[in-house]
Amino acid sequence: MKKTSTRLADGRELIYYDALDDVVRDAADLRPLGATSTASELRYDALLDEWVIIASHRQGRIYHPPANECPLCPSRDGRLSEIPADGYDVVVFENRFPSLTSAAPAVAERGAGPLPKLARPGNGRCEVVCFTSDHDASFADLTPQQVGLVLDAWTDRTAELSALPGVEQVFCFENRGAEIGVTLGHPHGQIYAYPFVTPRTERMLGAAAAHRRRTGRNLFDDLLADELAARGGSADRVVIAGEHWTAFVPYAAHWPYEVHLYPNRRVADLLALNDAERAEFCEVYLDLLRRFDLLFVDPAAGAAARPGRTPYIAAWHQSPVGSGPGSSGELALHLELFTIRRTVGKLKFLAGSESGMDVFINDVSPETAAQRLREVSP
């Protein structure tokens, strides 16, 4: 892998990740861009004991542009985009409309008394990851070699962002599909470098600590062992069992089709994966994504039916940074993949119970979902 860092016209960093070492990246960003302006701040929610990001400047971000105006395509045929080169393998750049930024303005606490309005600058970093220059492709269309390059980019960014002052957690993820809320159709993901440990991770760490106190064992190790022990029986929720990775539908899945992908050897983050684990991930993850695309083919289409593009979120969970809060080594690296589609032509909306009380109601049993995912082998 060759890594080349450059700057866009407004000063944001852009990084090329190339499979070949002899590629030269010297195209300049010729757009007349002004400096970015952000208004990101963190406000403390005393009722839920968590931080909320207020980023009102994001209202002006690009929203569903036509394909010929896509800002993530290469710059070619006289049209300039966020990527100055006329082609690329994988590109990462600072988001022009970030939720968190190193340039966040200073803020002050608002009010006094028994409940001061705590606030902090929205310091951190938000990056866009373009998986391929092909606008019409999807992650599932990549080759294992291309996935390996994306994994290298995720790993490199985790290392670089973890070293930034104040960063406590690095989150790599992909949202796919307009139904999920994606506003750019080009295959891409994002990376957030948070200045706090996220609420979901805090809950996982709390559960892991309680399990350690009760049993003396690691919660994530026991979860994976329990799923593997149930293989072949009526409670079989394993979708793919590899030498180094296991994909399974969790016992209490929140979403109609939700799969967790674990390395069989517990590691804290992407940096800790060895070569064999990295190589097998590329094959297993592509297999899993292609199964998702086969889930909702309309039966009425018969033999002519083609795989669809199932909307999904793919979220990497890795340990918080360094010696900060929650960095005890209890949290295991894993990827959670889920879709909001529950059947052909129908979505799972977060209604009153889910949105108002955080109590999920799943329309598909986890065992049925796992069976269906095993049946749709690509």
Residue 111 has pLDDT above 80, yes or no: no
Where in the chain are the domains? 2-30+38-199, 200-375
Amino acid occupying residue 279? A
For 77-99, what is each residue's pLDDT tens digit?
999 999 999 999 999 999 999 99
How many Cβ atoms from other residues are within 10 Å of residue 181's Cβ? 10
How many Cβ atoms from other residues are within 10 Å of residue 338's Cβ? 22
pLDDT value, residue 155: 98
pLDDT value, residue 323: 55
Catalytic residue (one of 57, 135, 186, 188): 188
The secondary structure of 259-327, three-state, reads: EEEEECCCCCCHHHCCHHHHHHHHHHHHHHHHHHHHCCCCHHHHHHCCCCCCCEEEEEECCCCCCCCCC
pLDDT value, residue 301: 60
pLDDT value, residue 326: 54
For 161-218, what is each residue's pLDDT tens digit?
999 999 999 999 999 999 998 989 999 999 999 999 999 999 999 999 999 999 999 9
Q: Is 188 a known active-site residue?
A: yes
CATH of 2-30+38-199, one of 1.10.3720.10, 3.30.428.10, 1.10.1270.20, 3.40.720.10: 3.30.428.10
How many Cβ atoms from other residues are within 10 Å of residue 1's Cβ? 15
Element (H, E) at 224: helix 219-229
Compute the residue count for the chain: 378
For 122-169, what is each residue's pLDDT tens digit?
999 999 999 999 999 999 999 999 999 999 999 999 999 999 999 999
pLDDT value, residue 37: 74
Q: Are strands 41-45 and 50-54 parallel, antiparallel or unpaired?
A: antiparallel
DSSP reduced 3-state for 173 = strand
Give the distance, in angstroms, between the CA of residue 255 and the centroid of all CA atoms in the same chain: 16
Distance CA 224, CA 237 (A): 11
pTM of the model: 0.94
Query: Are 348 and 340 a contacting pair, CB within 8 Å?
Result: yes
For 273-327, what is each residue's pLDDT tens digit?
999 999 999 999 999 999 999 999 866 665 545 678 999 999 999 999 975 555 5
Q: Where are the beta strands (DSSP E) in the chain?
A: 2-7, 13-18, 41-45, 50-54, 90-94, 119-121, 125-130, 169-176, 188-194, 238-241, 245-248, 257-263, 312-317, 334-339, 341-343, 346-347
Domain 2-30+38-199 and domain 200-375, same fold? Reply is: yes
Torsion over CA: 96, 101, 102, 104 (sign): positive
- The class level of CATH for 200-375 reads alpha beta
Q: Which of 258-272, 292-306, 346-360 has the lowest mean pLDDT?
A: 292-306
How many Cβ atoms from other residues are within 10 Å of residue 278's Cβ? 17
How many Cβ atoms from other residues are within 10 Å of residue 140's Cβ? 22
Distance CA 320, CA 330 (A): 10
pLDDT value, residue 325: 53
Distance CA 77, CA 244 (A): 44
For 211-245, what is each residue's pLDDT tens digit?
999 999 999 999 999 999 999 998 999 999 999 99
Residue 48 has pLDDT above 60, yes or no: yes
DSSP annotation of 78: T
pLDDT value, residue 300: 63
Residue 349 has pLDDT above 60, yes or no: yes
